[in-house]
Amino acid sequence: IGQNVCDTCRFPYQLKEGLETELQADIELKIIAQTGWTTTNLKNAIASQNPTADYDLVTLLIGVNNQYQHKSFSLYQQEFPELLTTAIALAKGDKNNVIVVSIPDYAFTPFGGSSASISTEIDAYNAFAESYSTQNGVVFVNITDITRQGLANPALVASDGLHPSQLAYSKFVERILPKAILVLEN
């Protein structure tokens, strides 16, 4: 959701601000996920917090920490569909109110050091998420290519040398915002 950037610099807040401007409405934002979480952490937090199932829009971006923590890919293949089902349930049971966002590729940061194996694994996670989302009629927005410009454009990387910067998040929002507007206008 945003590490080493200001709270309002994170993509959910930038998306909220963009929606408020475009729709001329007040938007309430609730963030469940935290930096560093795997699919298991997110599942547990949702179960613990027991959020209401009346959200007009739910975004789901999860998996990079499964890869980073060397969790079994089969765990992601099991838990991502469960999380997407939960996201749909929280979005008033309507798959049209959910947007899945691809996971960033941290290989293109000073921390990641251009590791081809990281990128290959990130591609597998994103291919699975995109395929599953598409098969289930859920919008999938790819932002991974933005993060793959991080070494060529260091302004896309936060000061920690690992996470996306405010600028990167604004580029994420440029892609997510039109889809989110369609969700909220319908």
pLDDT tens for each residue of 65-113: 999 999 999 999 999 999 999 999 999 999 999 999 999 999 999 999 8
pLDDT at 29 over 90: yes
Residue 24 in tokens = 């001329």
Residue with tokens 């319908």: 186
- Give pLDDT, residue 21: 96
- Taking CB atoms within 8 Å and a gap of at least 24, the contacts of 148-152 are 148/105, 148/107, 148/108, 148/119, 149/108, 150/108, 150/109, 151/108, 151/109, 151/110, 151/114
Which backbone phi and psi does 164 adopt, to 5 degrees? Answer: -65, 150
The predicted structure's pLDDT at residue 186: 80
Q: pLDDT per residue over 111-168, tens digit each?
A: 998 889 999 999 999 999 999 999 999 999 999 999 999 999 999 999 999 999 999 9
Q: Nearest-CA neighbor of 11 among 180, 172, 182, 177?
A: 172
Q: Is 114 left (phi over 0), alpha (psi -120 to 50) or beta?
A: left
> What is the C-alpha separation between 46 and 49, in angstroms, rounded?
5
> Does the pLDDT of residue 42 top 80, yes or no?
yes
Percent of residues, the chain, with pLDDT higher than 90: 90
Residue of 68, 93, 90, 99 lying closest to 175 (CA atoms): 99
CB-CB neighbours of 177 under 10 Å: 18
pLDDT at residue 63, rounded to an integer = 97
Q: For all residues of the chain together, what is the average pLDDT?
A: 95
The pLDDT > 70 percentage for the chain reads 100
pLDDT at 123 (0 to 100): 98
Q: Looking at the DSSP assignment, which residues form a beta bridge with residue 52? A: none
Strand, coil or helix: what is 12? helix
Query: Quick one: pLDDT at residue 156?
Result: 97
User: Do residues 109 and 69 touch, judged by C-beta distance below 8 A?
Assistant: no
- pLDDT band of residue 8 (cuts 50, 70, 90) is confident
What pLDDT, on the 0 to 100 scale, is given for residue 56?
96
148/91 Cα distance (integer angstroms): 31
